[in-house]
Structure 1
Amino acid sequence: MGRLPRLVATDLDGTLLRADKTVSPRTVEAISRISAGGVDVALVTGRPIRWLRHVYDQLGTPLPTVCANGAVVYDPVADQVLRADPLAPELLAQVVERLRAEVPGVSFAVEVTDSREFRHEVDFPLNWDRGSPDIRMIDAAADLHAVAAVKLLARAGAQDPDVFVKVVAGALAGLAEATHSSYSGLIEISAAGVTKAAGLAWYCAQHGLDAADVLAFGDMPNDVPMLTWVGRGVAVANAHPAVLEIADDVTASNEEDGVAAYLENLLDADRPDGDAGPQAHPTGRVGSA
């Protein structure tokens, strides 16, 4: 990759954002510095479009975003969806039918209209978005798959997410992708082949970038495809074990501004008087950043 990548791609929750969903001033400064150095920055998240404004406001600039775990590529400057890869209504119906047969007590919600709207069954617990006009409880089961959705969400009470995702993925093998980005037992389902890696690869292709040109940060299993696709994948110290296992490097936790620390290290090494040798990262791991 060389000292500086051509693109930095970062996950949001648990990676760039602190636990209170804020972006630290240090992180804002590091992103500004890397951008000023000629490196593009993109966000790659499981979040829907409607959850991005709060992040853009903190960063001070609306960065291009791969959202809904790769199903949507969004240009916030033009407020334009550049690409969407949803689950078609017929496929949604098949996925829902299969999971109802395999998972007792399962309930569902869908992200529709390129993830600007959210529809949920009556039994699906709402942990976010309460009172939002973009959130609607469906009246009949068929309404769940009446239109295409960029993401299907599944819950079945208290579940170990690592165990539950294997059950769901097994039931949907060859039909759809299943992953998770939290420890709450929420499973996120996308069309077959739709991952953060696929969405980011499409974005890179539009800008003449190869995987080797990209440095990416992440923390949860939905980040694994992206971190294994890019030239250098970096886990924050608080990452899920599956992410720590495959990462090329590990930086400090999200609470300790791990992304900022790693970018600062890269920028310092790239200075004309910088040390050309391996760089020590905040966790003590050494890598050839």
Structure 2
Amino acid sequence: MPDATWKPRLIALDVDGTLLDPDTQTISAAVRTSVRRAVDAGAEVIVATGRSMLGALPVLADLGLTRGVALCSNGAVVLDAATGEAVSVETFEPAPVVAELARRVPGSILAVERLGEGNLVTAPFGPDELHGPQHVGTIEDVTAGPVPRLVANWVGHEPAEVVAAMRGAVLPGATFTLDHYEPWVTVVPQDVTKGAALEKLRAELGVPAAETFAAGDGDNDVQMLEWAAHGVAMGQGPAVVHAAADEVTAPVAEDGLATALDRWFR
């Protein structure tokens, strides 16, 4: 663990399970205050989430983050925090990916992100599972053109079943992560991860690698935690996430992120 004189200049924070408690769908006052202290101290705070743009915008508003960027769709979309507009987007062709998913997780319902508009789905997801409007279409509609993010929901199955089904999978032109809360496969362009996007941003900002911090709780946070000089895993996260971190803090329901940040920002 860094000593008392160390203080991060670039702070990357996952949303669901890190900033926001999935059970209450809220960011606690303690977490909101700790993030505000870091911003007021001059740190560059970056929200880095698997959520779409539409899912990230209310989080930025809740935290009062109005400068810099946010990383959405696991880094495939870079959002200007001041304007709410995408400044860069990476995409992949979904058709070959969908073909492989049909073999491994047959019967999954699919959602592809329509940037700033919502999602095109093959069947409705739950009301709190996606952000923005859902437009129902066919497999042909979903695979008609490049997308920044695709989600496959293997309804009726457990997350552990998805892990087993996707073991050893290679999705053409794409990178995937799994969810430890839901039976989901989230797909983004090849080599796109939160960690890779943050490293590009770090270089652009001129922040030394030794002055980076990240916190997360999911499979899609592993590369980000490994990237950071000091990575913090949330207590409720799975073992694979804990193993990638330098420190394990309390669960999100116990304000673990505030505990970690308050060490340097009081």
**Do both share a fold (TM > 0.5)?**
yes
Equivalent of 1:246, from 244, 247, 253? Answer: 244
Q: Give me the whole-angstrom Cα distance separating, in 2, the residues matched to 1:130 and 1:204.
A: 29
* Displacement of 1:169: 5.6
Helix, strand or coil at the partner of 1:9: strand
Q: Give me the whole-angstrom Cα distance separating, in 2, the residues matched to 1:262 and 1:241.
A: 19
Instruction: Give yes or no for contact 1:109–1:121 (8 Å, CA) kept in 2.
Output: yes
The structure with the larger Rg is: 1
Instruction: Give yes or no for contact 2:96–2:172 (8 Å, CA) kept in 1.
Output: no
Q: Give me the whole-angstrom Cα distance separating, in 1, the residues matched to 2:14 and 2:238.
A: 13
Instruction: Give yes or no for contact 1:219–1:239 (8 Å, CA) kept in 2.
Output: yes
**Alpha-carbon distance change, 82 to 165 in structure 1, aligned in 2, over 3 angstroms:** farther
Structure 1 vs Structure 2: percent identity of aligned residues?
Answer: 31
Equivalent of 1:59, from 27, 39, 63? Answer: 63
**Alpha-carbon distance change, 243 to 86 in structure 1, aligned in 2, over 3 angstroms:** same
Instruction: Give yes or no for contact 2:105–2:154 (8 Å, CA) kept in 1.
Output: yes
Helix, strand or coil at the partner of 2:66: coil
Equivalent of 2:228, from 223, 227, 230? Answer: 230
Instruction: Give yes or no for contact 1:109–1:119 (8 Å, CA) kept in 2.
Output: yes
Helix, strand or coil at the partner of 1:225: helix
* Displacement of 1:197: 0.9
User: What is the alpha-carbon root mean square deviation over aligned residues?
Assistant: 2.3
Q: Which residue of 1 aligns with 2:181?
A: 183
Superimposed CA distance per residue, residues 236-263 of structure 1 (whole angstroms, 9 cap, x where no aligned partner): 1111221112210111221111111111
Superimposed CA distance per residue, residues 85-123 of structure 1 (whole angstroms, 9 cap, x where no aligned partner): 111xxx31111122223333233111122x54200003x
For normalisation by structure 2, the TM-score amounts to 0.89
Instruction: Give yes or no for contact 1:218–1:236 (8 Å, CA) kept in 2.
Output: yes
Helix, strand or coil at the partner of 2:27: coil
Instruction: Give yes or no for contact 1:165–1:179 (8 Å, CA) kept in 2.
Output: no
Q: Map 1:109-124 onto structure 2 (within 5 A).
A: 109-113=111-115, 116-122=117-123
Instruction: Give yes or no for contact 2:96–2:171 (8 Å, CA) kept in 1.
Output: no
Instruction: Give yes or no for contact 2:118–2:131 (8 Å, CA) kept in 1.
Output: no
Q: Give me the whole-angstrom Cα distance separating, in 2, the residues matched to 1:108 and 1:240.
A: 25
In structure 2, give the amino acid aligned to 1:39: A
Q: Give me the whole-angstrom Cα distance separating, in 2, the residues matched to 1:224 and 1:255.
A: 21
* Displacement of 1:56: 2.5
Q: Map 1:138-177 onto structure 2 (within 5 A).
A: 138=137, 140-168=138-166, 170-173=168-171, 175-177=173-175
**Alpha-carbon distance change, 31 to 150 in structure 1, aligned in 2, over 3 angstroms:** same
Instruction: Give yes or no for contact 2:71–2:194 (8 Å, CA) kept in 1.
Output: yes
**Alpha-carbon distance change, 131 to 161 in structure 1, aligned in 2, over 3 angstroms:** closer
Segments of 5+ residues of structure 2 without an aligned counterpart are: none
Superimposed CA distance per residue, residues 166-194 of structure 1 (whole angstroms, 9 cap, x where no aligned partner): 53363325642111234210110111101
